[in-house]
Chain A
Amino acid sequence: MSSDILHNLPVVALLLPLIGFLGYLWYGRWLSEKQAGTLASSWVVVSFILSVVLFFEVSTTGTAVQIHLFDWINTGKFHVPFALQVDQLSVIMMLLITGVGSLIHIYSIGYMHGDAGFNRFFSYLNLFIFFMLVLVMANNYVLMFAGWEGVGLCSYLLIGFWYKNHDYNTAANKAFIMNRIGDLCLLFGLFMIFSQFGSFEYADINLQASNNVAINTTVITGITLLLFAGATGKSAQLPLYTWLPDAMAGPTPVSALIHAATMVTAGIYLIIRSNVLFIMAPFTNDIIMIVGLTTAIFAGLIAFKQNDIKKVLAYSTVSQLGLMFFALGLGAYGAAFFHLLTHAFFKALLFLGAGSVIHGLNGEQDIRNMGGLKKYMKSTHIVFLIGVLAIIALPPFAGFFSKDNILTAAFIKSPLLWVMALISGLLTVFYMLRLYFLVFQGKERMETKVASQIHESPMVMLLPLFVLAILSVFGGLMNIPELFHGTKWLEHFISPIVSMSDVHLEHSTEWMLLGISLVSILAVGYIAYHKYVRLFMIPELDVQTAQMPLARLLKEKFYVDELYNAIIVKPLFSISKMVMSFFEEKVIHQITNGSGQLTLFLSGAIRKTQNGFISYYLFAMALGVLGILTIFIILS
């Protein structure tokens, strides 16, 4: 392929979704649903096709495509180019974003059918794809940050998509603001990077970091901690995760695309992208590991007691992201990236499947009012089951391979960590099967009126589900480990960016670990089966939960929202009012007004001397002369 076309391909792939968005602004109001949906999907599909071409280009040449578009700012030493870089890591991200993005666009044509804001919805999705591509295609941190905030902006727009609902708007604001807290940390990370390296470009920084042995480790630790803090906002980790469950207020395709498959993985992408720095910061890695593992378990526990189908999936996402961070903390970048990809497949599948359920039940989201849906929605049932089997890591589904990778890495570090990670995995097994059984198996608990109207979703929604189901089954093939006579293709492919780890376990140990985890998965699975299918147990009513302290604690999500409200939000607004009523009005204004009054008072006093009596003036004059003479005499 001629280098000229190659040079323009990434730009075209990047701009197509933006054209879709701008096009909507221009003529969106005059498009029918069908036109708008098809058009918006086409931009992304074409972008996906171009990404495939780029993928083959990058994999044959083995080098990154660099494109300098223009200088964003360039003055003195401060240089930020608007430049793209398509290397092995970003091209895979592009495939993921535009691939899953295309599927979700197509799905949304069915899901959003009849919504008053149909066209607007697609324009936001297009804009999101654009910013997400900016995020992964940038060749420097500042442009990456532009994409980073841009996707946050789209997330804000889409969470609050149904803007007449007060709670949804609050959720949208919360998402944006919590992300901004992380973003400020990320910004400071960038300031530190610039102070240390004098550049924002990945290539410069990586080069300097790997060549210069004299770099202060404290600085690197500071940089990496700040970058990680930024990642905890975007990727919903402790302590900044609380926006993600609330973000489920958005339409379900948004939850699948933004809040499961792509945007929330930006934090993981950021750390993989900066792996050269992170490798140099063992302290940060330990923190990441601890935060990731804690989040994985913490969110997994909360998911136990959630009864909203989307909330369960949301906490599951938080938990799975925690697992990815755990892997990053272990230094298993390849494993984390692998899990990022497989998770994107099966979590998008699960969300879209849940969307199909919600669609079929005319908006019902409470799993206590579902049950026995396998009879009504055969296709949705099958694909959802595939998604569940993939996420609980049953072989040979995609999730099995990627989770196994992470578990192996954990064992190499310490068997205790392996146990902890396994426990977090078993939590997943339980709450996901609970979800599956309560929705698709057992007795039907819908009202008869609802039950009579249950319908399978249209083909335009099912087709993307089938594709994602296939990916969830076979996605593991990307990175088959040696144990199964594979070559770890994915890790080899991204090895120019992330060097492969060369530590291995004995095969016998690996088999043993696999056996243990498989048996425990089956055991936990059986418990869930017994409880929800054989005994027909259904989650208790909310009033009952309130009676049980532990269940209530989980149901109320450990009261973290309330805690934040009490220690941050409320005090902030009280401080604001106090500063206004006391400091601004009593101190600042009083001082200035007071000095004005003092002037008036003094001038009043002096004015009394100007009383118009000649004799008084003469007397004053005499006194003055006398005074001057006295001073003159004393001085001489």
Chain B
Amino acid sequence: MNILFILLIPFLSALIILLASFKLSQKLAILSSAASVVVIGFMLALFGQNTAAISSIDLPWIASMGVHFHIGADGMSLLMILICNVVALISMYVSLGDQIHNPKQYFALILFMQTFMNGVFVAQDLFLYYIFWELALIPAYFLLLIWGKGEKLRPATIKFFLFTLLGSLLMLIAIVWLGNAGTTSDYSLSAISGLTIDTETQLMIFGAFMVAYGIKTPIFPLHSWQADTYTFAPAPVTILLSGVMSKMALYTIIRFVIPVVPEAVAEYGIYFMYAATFGVLYASIIALTQKDFKRMLAYISMAHVGLIFAGILTYSQAGLSGSMVQMVAHAINSAGLFFIANLLFKIKNTHDIQAFGGLRQYMPIFAGLYMVTMFGSIGVPITNGFIGEFMILTSLYQYDVIVALLAGSGVILGAVYMLRSYKTIMLGPDHSTIQTDIIGTDKYLLYSIAFVILFTGIFPAWIGQLCETSIQNILQPYLQK
């Protein structure tokens, strides 16, 4: 099966939606996302039987610059694509309940974003990768600006755009340098990984990349765009931003940064680990007293991705595998939590935690599913949040105790802010006017999310298996040196 399908399905669907009647756009979008999930599921099944089953494409594109249209996928890429398309499907479903103006443009933009994010995960040519990366940003910008809500929406959107653009520029410089470092201009990953770069240059490239990905993830202190953006964006877009876009950066560190500048990662990675894990503590502490539920979730997301960021930089099998497991977990959990925020918003038309109370009495199903999602986010064993966190913390501990302690603070603080907000919103005497539980699509979607949280918590081993070869290939060259 050709990997190109995974780009074509959402891209063509987006074009069709633009041409079709606006009444159909929602249905078409969901159909398309569902098709993408089915296709990627099929690909995973094929890949499981024969790792060569997924064929790649390599065509000369901009000949003068040596740029190829080269896409392909290994286990790790397939996993990321799975995350991307599942989260996109969730995002589409979450959009279902909302009255969206201009649905045509809205769904087309989400599908474009999905296409380009998929592109990031399959690109085997650094220049092509860069183009996908930038293209993914554009729909996000418009989705945010046109469908977002909040008084500071415009400044927040501009900040988001400029921040990521700054990162992109640094990245572009590094990519162009790398593309021309060899005897001929060649941007293919295999060529660039084979380069021998002296340590000083490695450091500069590493720095440029890491600032770019530190912004996108985001880690401390490059996170200032994130809380506003996540808060003001419509819930489905926040789900995409935190569920997939942050993973683009994390994935790239594994895929490109580690193989290309291994010595710099080993030598200077620790500083970024300190920043990221300090960010875990920092974001967790801030989350404690947030009054706005969505903003609290934004900081929680920052704490969680900070941990993954540090886990990747441990440069170890357990750290990288754990990070992959945790990326799957974070994608689902943050999608679930932002979905819950959206459901709450529909009840009281606010994100203010204090406005809620005692919902559990009339909403036992909502309360139960919210609780499962919450425990997934806290990382209680047998939910998906545990095993990845455990692996990352184990490898952080082996790398540096202080980093592990900083990251470990989230274990306690995570329980504090989640349980406190749950108590305020769900428990206590009832004083809400809503007396019906969640129903229909909302209910089934939240059920599915809770199911995935428990399923991947009990059976995460397949994630490790799927990525094992990819990770070994990435670690091997350095370990041999």
Q: Which residues of A contact B (CB under 8 A)?
A: 70-78, 80, 82, 142, 145-146, 149-150, 153, 156, 160, 163-166, 169-170, 173, 176-177, 180-181, 183-184, 187-188, 190-192, 194-195, 572-573, 575-577, 579-580, 583-584, 588-589, 591-593, 596
Q: List 18 A-B contacts (CB under 8 A).
A: A73-B325, A73-B387, A75-B461, A76-B318, A78-B391, A146-B382, A146-B386, A163-B360, A169-B428, A170-B423, A183-B411, A188-B404, A191-B398, A194-B394, A195-B398, A573-B288, A579-B285, A588-B223
B163 lies within 8 A of A592 (CB) = yes
Apart from A146-B381, A191-B397, 12 more pairs, CB < 8 Å: A72-B458, A74-B465, A76-B318, A149-B381, A150-B381, A164-B427, A173-B419, A191-B393, A191-B394, A195-B398, A580-B286, A592-B159
**Is the CB of B134 closer than 8 A to any CB of chain A?**
no
A76 partner, pick from B321, B393, B412, beta carbons under 8 A: B321
> Once the chains bind, are B224 and A592 in contact (CB under 8 Å)?
yes
- The residues of A that contact B404 with a CB separation of less than 8 Å are 188, 191
Chain B residues whose CB sits within 8 angstroms of the CB of A153 once the complex forms: 375, 380
B346 within 8 A of partner (CB): no
Select from chain B the residue with minimum beta-carbon distance to A596. Answer: B162
B398 touches A164 (CB 8 A): no
Tell me if B282 and A579 are in contact (CB < 8 A).
yes
Q: How far is the CA of A406 from the CA of B168 in the complex (A)?
A: 68
- Complex interface residues of chain B between 224 and 246 (CB less than 8 A to chain A): 224-225
If over half of B's interface residues share one DSSP class (helix, strand or loop), that class is named, otherwise mixed; here it is: helix
The reply on B269 being an interface residue by CB < 8 A is no
**In the complex, what distance in Å separates the CA atom of A165 from the CA atom of B428?**
6
- Contact code string B402-433 (vs A, CB < 8 Å = 1, else 0): 00100010011001100110010011111000
B3 CB to nearest chain A CB (Å): 24
Return the chain B residue nearest A185 by Cβ. B408
CB closest chain-B residue, reference A170: B423
> How near does chain B come to A1, taking the closest CB pair, in angstroms?
29
Contact B390 A576 (CB under 8 A): no
Q: Is B56 an interface residue (CB 8 A)?
A: no
Whether the pair A589, B224 counts as a contact (CB closer than 8 A) is: yes
Asked whether any CB of chain A lies closer than 8 Å to the CB of B185, the reply is: no
Contacting pair A180 B224 (CB below 8 A):
no
Interface residues in B325-345 (C-beta closer than 8 Å to A): 325
Whether the pair A164, B430 counts as a contact (CB closer than 8 A) is yes
B459 within 8 A of A: yes
> A72, A165, A191: which contacts B460 (Cβ < 8 A)?
A72
Q: Which residues of B contact A170 (CB under 8 A)?
A: 423
A583 to B415, CA, bound (A): 23
CB-CB nearest in chain B for A190: B394
| Residues of B close to A183: CB separation below 8 A | 411
Who on chain B is nearest to A588 by CB? B224
Residues of chain B contacted by A190 (CB below 8 angstroms): 394
B294 CB, nearest partner CB in chain A, Å = 15
CA distance A403 to B254 in the complex (A): 58
Chain B residues 364 to 409 lying within 8 A of chain A, measured CB to CB, are 375, 380-382, 386-387, 390-391, 393-394, 397-398, 404, 408
Among residues of A, the one whose C-beta sits closest to the C-beta of B318 is A78
The smallest C-beta distance from B41 to any residue of chain A, in angstroms, reads 21
User: Which chain B residue lies CB-closest to A589?
Assistant: B224
Q: Would you give the shortest CB distance from B215 to chain A, in whole angstroms?
A: 10
Q: Which chain A residues lie closer than 8 Å to B321 at the CB level?
A: 73, 75-76, 78
Contacts of B225 in A (CB 8 A): 592
The winner among B285, B318, B322, B361 for most chain A CB atoms within 10 A is B285
Point out which of B361, B380, B381, B386 has the most chain A C-beta atoms below 10 A from its C-beta: B381
Q: Would A75 and B289 count as touching, CB distance under 8 A?
A: no
Residues of A within 8 A of B103 (CB): none
Q: Does B464 contact A (CB under 8 A)?
A: yes
Most-contacted residue by chain B among A146, A150, A181, A575 (CB, 10 A): A146
Name B393's contact: one of A180, A181, A187 (CB within 8 Å): A187
Whether the Cβ atoms of B159 and A596 lie closer than 8 Å is yes
A195 touches B430 (CB 8 A): no
In the complex, chain A residues whose CB is within 8 Å of the CB of B322: 78
Rounded to whole angstroms, the CA-CA distance of A70 and B397 in the bound complex is 26
* Minimum distance in angstroms from A188 CB to a CB of chain B: 7
Does B51 count as interface, using CB distance less than 8 angstroms? no
B317 touches A76 (CB 8 A): yes
Give residues 261-292 of B contacting A (CB, 8 Å).
282, 285-286, 288-290
Instruction: Decide: A576 near B464, CB < 8 A? Known: A142-B390, A596-B159.
Output: no
Is A576 within 8 A of B318, CB to CB?
no
Judging by beta carbons under 8 Å apart, are B428 and A177 in contact?
Answer: no
- Given A77-B317, A163-B360, A188-B397: A177 and B381 interface contact (C-beta under 8 Å): no
- Give Cα A173–Cα B423 distance, bound, in whole angstroms: 8
Taking Cβ atoms with an 8 Å cutoff, the residues of B that contact A are 159, 162-163, 221, 223-225, 282, 285-286, 288-290, 317-318, 321-322, 325, 358, 360-361, 375, 380-382, 386-387, 390-391, 393-394, 397-398, 404, 408, 411-412, 415-416, 419-420, 423, 426-430, 458-461, 464-465, 467-468, 471
Distance between Cα atoms of A75 and B391 in the complex (Å):
10
Residues of the B chain whose Cβ atoms lie less than 8 Å from the Cβ of A82: 458
Chain B residue with minimal CB distance to A194?
A: B394
Given A77-B317, A164-B428, A572-B288, A180–B358 Cβ distance below 8 Å? no
- CB-based nearest B residue for A146: B381
| Cα(A593)–Cα(B360), bound, Å | 42
Contact A72 B387 (CB under 8 A): yes
Quick one: closest A residue to B360, CB to CB? A163
Bound-state CA distance A169–B390 (Å) is 28
Complex CA distance for A166 and B419, rounded to whole angstroms? 13
Among A194, A577, A580, max chain B CB count under 10 A is at A580
Nearest-Cβ distance from residue B278 to partner chain A, whole angstroms: 12
Nearest 4 interchain pairs by C-beta: A76-B317, A146-B381, A75-B464, A191-B397
Q: Are B461 and A73 in contact (CB under 8 A)?
A: yes
Chain A residues with CB under 8 Å of B465's CB are 74-75
- Is A75 a contact partner of B428 (Cβ separation < 8 A)? no
Cβ-defined partner of A177 (8 Å) among B282, B285, B415, B426 = B415
CB <8 Å contact, B221 and A588: yes
Residue of chain A at shortest CB distance from B317: A76
Distance between Cα atoms of A592 and B318 in the complex (Å): 36
Docked complex Cα distance between A399 and B416 (Å): 39
Contact (A163, B391) CB under 8 Å given A183-B411, A184-B411, A577-B289: no
A185 to chain B, nearest CB (A): 9
Which residues of the other chain, B, contact A72 by a CB distance below 8 angstroms? Answer: 387, 458, 460-461
Q: Which residues of B contact A184 (CB under 8 A)?
A: 408, 411-412
**Using Cβ atoms and an 8 Å threshold, which residues of chain B touch A164?**
358, 361, 427-430
Q: Which residue of A lies closest to B220 (CB)?
A: A588
Tell me, in angstroms, the Cα distance from A580 to B423 when the chains sit together. 22
List chain A residues, Cβ under 8 A from B468.
75-76
Query: Assuming A76-B321, A191-B404, A589-B224, is B420 touching A584 (CB within 8 A)?
Result: no
Given contacts A169-B423, A572-B288, whether A74 and B464 have CB atoms under 8 Å apart is yes
Q: Which residue of chain A lies nearest to B286 when distances are taken between CB atoms in the complex?
A: A580
Q: In the bound complex, what is the Cα–Cα distance between A559 and B219 (angstroms)?
A: 40
> Nearest Cβ in chain B — how far from A120, in angstroms?
9
Give the distance in Å from the alpha carbon of A170 to the alpha carbon of B289 in the complex: 16
> Which B residues lie within 8 Å of A142 (CB)?
381, 390
With a CB–CB cut-off of 8 A, which chain B residues contact A176?
415, 419
* Given contacts A70-B459, A596-B159, A180 and B411 within 8 Å (CB-CB): yes
